[in-house]
A and B are shown apart, each in its own frame.
Chain A
Amino acid sequence: MTTTTSRKRLLNGLSDATGGIGDRFRALPKWQRGLAFLAFVAFLYYLPLLGIPGLTWLRTDSIEGGNNWAGVLFVCAVYVLIAIGLNVVIGLAGLLDLGYVGFFAVGAYSVALFGSTQSPVVKALQERFDLPQGWAVAWAICIPIAIAIAMISGVLLGWPTLRLRGDYLAIVTLGFGEIIRIVVRNVSWSGGPHGVAAIPGPEGAPSADNQVFGLIDAKPWYWLALTVVLLLVLAVRRLENSRVGRAWLAVREDEDAAAVMGVYPFKYKLWAFAIGAALGGISGALFASRQGFIEPNQFNAQLSILFVAMVVVGGAGNMAGVALGAFLLAYLPERFRDFAEWRFLVFGLALVLVMLLRPQGLIPSRRRARELKDRAEEVPASV
């Protein structure tokens, strides 16, 4: 089988080449790495203004019928945040969660139901406590509420289900995501199928008078989301290298061995679930604040599956990887609107091709890539 061996060599070469860049980057002196990182961050903040001649074709509004560049970047940033949260669950703790959209929805609906003057919950509170018409919970308070509710729902879902093995967990979480969506659609206290409008942002309810986080210009929203992403990346990075992070690793690699060594798997799995849920909640809250309006059908199972695809395509376990995956999966369908009807077909094809040619993901985690290599070598010669 010369073709397969040559193909294998080619693939190894490919991964060596990209892995090589990573290694070389890591070999740089610390100040240079820091400088490069700062330059990159500065570039990210500059991105919505992107006007470097020769690079403007990257903008989504550079095509006919193209979408607002800053608006698309905002969605990308929210998806990156989701990918980072889901990466904690899938990449670090190794739990397959197909219902992550549920936490995203919980976060979004928490802000909507407590913060919007049009929500049935706020109206009920107004009536119950004799509050004025315009009263609603302030945005700054809605966000911690959203995080708390998302985290609680993560624990509530995780508590009974985390004892299940991988694939069972997948279907149960998928069911959870659907249950959230259907319940929110069917009951009346959530606004039902009509959704909730007038969701507040940092400057209060959406109105033309808002100076910074206004209706028309999406750039401040992108910068806000980007700041949140960067802060949380740093936080998750610390977590990854902490005791908890190492425990996740141990549980992911071999649950029984971890248990023998005194790492109680269930506890750490539940932590991963809760932290992942909280991150999903934050992204949902951000998303709802910017949108100003949400309806239940925005949170469907297909979106959940897209989230998992972002993590896997980018490279589960590696934050830079999942961020890239999320960015590409949100960005490419917008940039290539010219494909119109064919967009999703091409998207599916791209998904298949990436997975076949680069199963470790675009920027794999080093440990994962090594595992994959090991697995490939374990295959008996006969197969």
Chain B
Amino acid sequence: MRRNYVRALGAVGLAATMVVAAGCQDAGGGSNEAGGDGKCGGKVAIFGAFTGPNAGLVLPSLNGAKLAFKQFTEKNPDCKVELKEFDTTGDPTQATPVANQVAQDQSFVAVIGGHFSGETKATMPIYEAAGLVMVSPSATATELTATGNKAFHRVVGNDGTQGAAAVAYLKNSLKPSKVFVIDDGTPYGQGIIDEVKKGLGTVVVDSDKVQTDQTNFDATISKIKSSGADAIAYGGYTNEAAPLLKQARAAGITAKFLGFDGLYDPGFPAGAGAAAEGAIVTCPCLPAAEAGGTFSADYQKEYGQAPGSYGAEGFDGANVLLDGFKAGKSSRKDLMEWVDSYDKQGVSKYVKFDASGDVEKSKVVIWAYEIKGGQITPKEEIKLS
């Protein structure tokens, strides 16, 4: 009997503790200090795949943004800016709660990201509802700016413009008679190849779709051979493009290889070795020498390697917001307006957004790069006619 009483007391005690606990709330994380109190500076969230299998594509952008924040702090010690990293591994499942967190924490005034189109699509309604401006360095899906979302901006050309540039380059410079197109079935790769197909019309003789983590490309290579194509356009990333190109060259395919910014990545020539020689990679990013400024050298000094894919875009995206802080904007609303009317030369391109959040078409600069001696070297600017 005694023990029963003890237990009953215990249960009552537990209930009491909970009632008391409910009373004395400690807000836990998520501070609620409101931004926009007139002081210079603010807190920016950056989210993307900083770990996981696709981190290699995103880390240069993160590093670029970090570099921008570091340089800003050095130059403006009075203006307190902070960059908080939120890792999503590129998975929309993880990106959604991150968006909730950033949206609810009023101390955040802007967002850099998302880096992949999927996580961006999943989270942009949340950021829009919270009035947070998003500046994406690398989400290129065309449809992102087609839904009328007001929060989303990107400092990168979309798949449509890149596809058009590739078409122009193929038509004007390479002048192939038959083109074989391949995509990797990701929103990025498929989106860009759809644009190329549309632009080239009947010059595209055949196509194939590979898949992520595929390693054997015999069937694709046979198709390329039978098609007799003299140029290949590949929409996708390094992990599949490098083995594909290597195997295709080994199989005696000599067709010109054209890739997009997903391959603007030192890992591509490194992975494909000698096979990458002469491959063309288009990228909506200015070569370091053209960009002016010291971004490339600074990045090299800071991280011990050349800025890879989207490194310059990450830097530009951060600078769009940092310029806003410098101009005294420090609330979500002010920054949204600031970004909407931003108009300035960046490292990767001239940054000015149109009404949908894309970089104004006339300002997008797309360059063709050639792989020479294992290095991605600038070849020529592609004129969009």
| A–B: direct contact at CB < 8 Å | yes
CB distance from B69 to the nearest CB of A (A): 15
Nearest A residue (CB) for B143: A194
A36-B11, A197-B121, A340-B51 are known contacts. Are A216 and B129 too (CB-CB below 8 A)?
A: yes
Which B residue's beta carbon lies closest to that of A74?
B97
- A216: nearest chain-B partner, CB-CB: B103
Asked if A68 contacts B118 (CB within 8 A), the reply is no
Provide the A143-154 mask, 1 if CB < 8 A to any CB of B, else 0.
000000000000
Given A35-B11, A51-B21, A208-B128: A193 and B190 within 8 A (CB)?
Answer: yes
Check if B15 is an interface residue, CB within 8 A of chain A.
Answer: yes
Pick the contact of B104 from A49, A53, A217 — CB < 8 Å? A217
In Å, the complex CA distance between A206 and B100 comes to 14
B130, closest chain A residue (CB): A216
Residue of A nearest to B104 (CB): A216
- Give the residue name and chain of the A residue nearest to B90 (CB): A297
Separation of A56 and B27 alpha carbons in the complex (Å): 8
Contacts of A337 in B (CB 8 A): 87
**Is the pair B29, A71 in contact by a Cβ cutoff of 8 Å?**
no
Expressed in whole angstroms, the Cα–Cα distance for A343 and B55 within the complex equals: 14
From known contacts A67-B94, A68-B100, A215-B126, infer whether A32 and B51 are also in contact, taking CB-CB under 8 Å: no
Q: Does A61 contact B (CB under 8 A)?
A: yes
A295 cross-chain contacts in B, Cβ below 8 A? 92, 118, 121, 187
Q: Which of B53-104 contact A (CB under 8 A)?
A: 55, 84-87, 91-94, 96-98, 100-101, 103-104
CA distance A59 to B27 in the complex (A): 10
Indicate if the CB atoms of A51 and B187 lie closer than 8 Å. Answer: no
Q: Do B22 and A215 have beta carbons less than 8 Å apart?
A: no
Within the complex, the shortest CB–CB distance from A203 to chain B, in Å, comes to 13
A70 to B100, Cβ gap below 8 A? yes
Is B37's CB within 8 Å of the partner chain A? no
**Residues on A with beta carbons closer than 8 Å to the beta carbon of B190:** 192-194
Q: Are A61 and B29 within 8 A (Cβ)? A: yes
A56-B28, A66-B29 given; A340·B87 CB < 8 A: yes
CA distance A33 to B187 in the complex (A): 52
- In the complex where A67-B98, A216-B126, A340-B87 touch, is A291 in contact with B30 (Cβ < 8 A)? no
Contact between A341 and B22 (Cβ–Cβ < 8 Å)?
A: no
Complex: chain B residue closest to A214, CB-CB: B129
User: Which B196-214 residues have C-beta < 8 A from chain A?
Assistant: 209, 211-212
Minimum Cβ distance to chain A for residue B385 (Å): 29
> Does chain A have a CB within 8 A of B125?
yes
| A169 in contact (CB, < 8 A) | no
Q: What residues on B are CB-neighbors of A343 within 8 Å?
A: 51
Residues 143 to 159 of chain B near chain A (Cβ within 8 Å): 143, 147
CA A218 to CA B11, docked complex, whole Å = 30
A192–B55 CA distance with the chains assembled, in angstroms: 23
A133 interface contact, C-beta 8 A = no
A32-B7, A36-B11, A68-B98 known; A56 vs B104 contact (CB < 8 Å): no
How many chain A residues touch B (Cβ–Cβ < 8 Å)?
Answer: 59
Asked, given contacts A65-B84, A67-B101, A186-B209, whether A195 binds B93 with beta carbons under 8 Å apart, the answer is no
Contacts A67-B101, A68-B104, A297-B118 known; A195 to B187 CB distance under 8 Å?
Answer: yes
Q: Per a CB cutoff under 8 Å, which of B22, B51, B101 touches A61? A: B101
Q: Which residues of B contact A82 (CB under 8 A)?
A: none
Complex CA gap A92/B27 in Å reads: 41
Contact between A53 and B87, CB atoms less than 8 A apart: no
A61 and B8 contact, Cβ closer than 8 Å, known pairs A52-B21, A295-B92 = no
For A237-248 the 0/1 string (1 means CB < 8 A from B) is 000000000000
- What secondary structure prevails in chain B residues at the interface with A? helix
Query: Is the C-beta of B226 less than 8 angstroms from some C-beta in chain A?
Result: no
A290 surroundings in chain B (CB, below 8 A):
96
Q: Which of A29, A218, A290 counts the most chain B CB atoms within 10 A?
A: A218
Q: Are A185 and B97 in contact (CB under 8 A)?
A: no
CB <8 Å contact, A340 and B50: yes
Q: Is A282 an interface residue (CB 8 A)?
A: no
User: Is the beta-carbon distance between B186 and A193 smaller than 8 angstroms?
Assistant: yes
User: Restricting to B176-232, which residues have a CB under 8 Å from any CB of A?
Assistant: 185-187, 190-191, 209, 211-212
Q: Which residues of A contact B26 (CB under 8 A)?
A: 51-53, 56
B327 part of interface (Cβ distance < 8 Å): no
Asked whether B25 is an interface residue with its Cβ less than 8 Å from the other chain, the reply is yes
Nearest chain-A residue to B88 (Cβ)?
Answer: A67
Q: Are A29's CB and B4's CB within 8 A?
A: yes
Within the complex, what minimum Cβ distance (angstroms) separates B157 from chain A?
18
The reply to whether A67 and B27 form a contact with Cβ atoms under 8 Å apart is: no
If A39-B15, A42-B18, A186-B209 touch, whether A75 touches B93 (CB-CB below 8 Å) is yes
Contacts of A186 in B (CB 8 A): 185, 209
B289: Cβ under 8 A from any A Cβ: no
Closest Cβ–Cβ distance, residue B362 to chain A (whole Å): 27
Interfacial chain B residues near A323, Cβ < 8 Å: none
- Return A26 CB to nearest CB of chain B, in Å: 13
Q: Which residues of A contact B87 (CB under 8 A)?
A: 65, 337, 340
A206 to B147, CA, bound (A): 13
B103–A61 touching, CB < 8 Å: no
- Nearest CB of A to B291, in Å: 30
* A293 at interface, CB cutoff 8 A: yes
Expressed in whole angstroms, the minimum distance between the Cβ of B283 and any Cβ of chain A is 22
Contact A293 B92 (CB under 8 A): yes
- Residue among A39, A56, A68 making CB contact with B11, cutoff 8 Å: A39
Bitwise, B281-324 to A at CB < 8 A (1) or not (0) is 00000000000000000000000000000000000000000000
Residue of B nearest to A218 (CB): B100
* Known A216-B126, A343-B51; contact A69-B18, beta-carbon cutoff 8 A: no
Check: A12 CB closer than 8 A to any chain B CB.
no
Given contact pairs A32-B8, A216-B130, A295-B118, A46 touches B100 in the complex (Cβ within 8 A) = no
What are some 23 contacts across the A-B interface (CB < 8 A)?
A: A51-B26, A52-B17, A53-B24, A56-B28, A61-B101, A65-B84, A65-B85, A65-B86, A67-B86, A67-B101, A71-B97, A186-B209, A207-B125, A208-B129, A215-B125, A216-B130, A217-B100, A217-B104, A293-B92, A295-B92, A298-B91, A298-B92, A340-B87
Task: Beyond A65-B85, A206-B125, A214-B129, list 19 extra A-B contacts (CB 8 Å).
Answer: A36-B11, A36-B14, A49-B22, A49-B25, A51-B26, A53-B26, A56-B28, A59-B29, A61-B30, A61-B101, A65-B87, A68-B100, A193-B185, A197-B122, A197-B147, A207-B125, A215-B126, A297-B186, A341-B55
